[in-house]
């Protein structure tokens, strides 16, 4: 049962892509939440 280097690279790339997508999603969510907080503060300040 020998796994080739090509298979390992393919598997690693797949995992890396998934991890990157997850991190990107988290960053975007944080950005949106932060943006909403700033907007919320501005809105309440105007009132």
Establish if 47 belongs to a structural domain: no
pLDDT at 3: 79
Residue 26 CB-density burial (10 A; 0-12 exposed, 13-18 middle, 19+ buried) = exposed
Domain count, the chain: 1
Establish if 41 belongs to a structural domain: no
Q: What is the pLDDT of residues 24-47, one digit of tens each?
A: 999 998 888 887 877 777 666 566
Establish if 43 belongs to a structural domain: no
pTM score above 0.75: no
pLDDT at 24: 93
Q: How far apart (Å, rounded) are the C-alpha atoms in residues 13 and 36?
A: 34
């Amino acid at each position: 049962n020998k796994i080739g280097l090509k298979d390992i690279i393919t598997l690693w790339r797949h995992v890396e892509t998934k991890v990157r997508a997850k991190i990107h999603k988290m960053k975007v969510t944080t950005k949106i939440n932060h943006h909403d907080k700033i907007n919320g503060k501005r809105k309440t300040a105007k009132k």
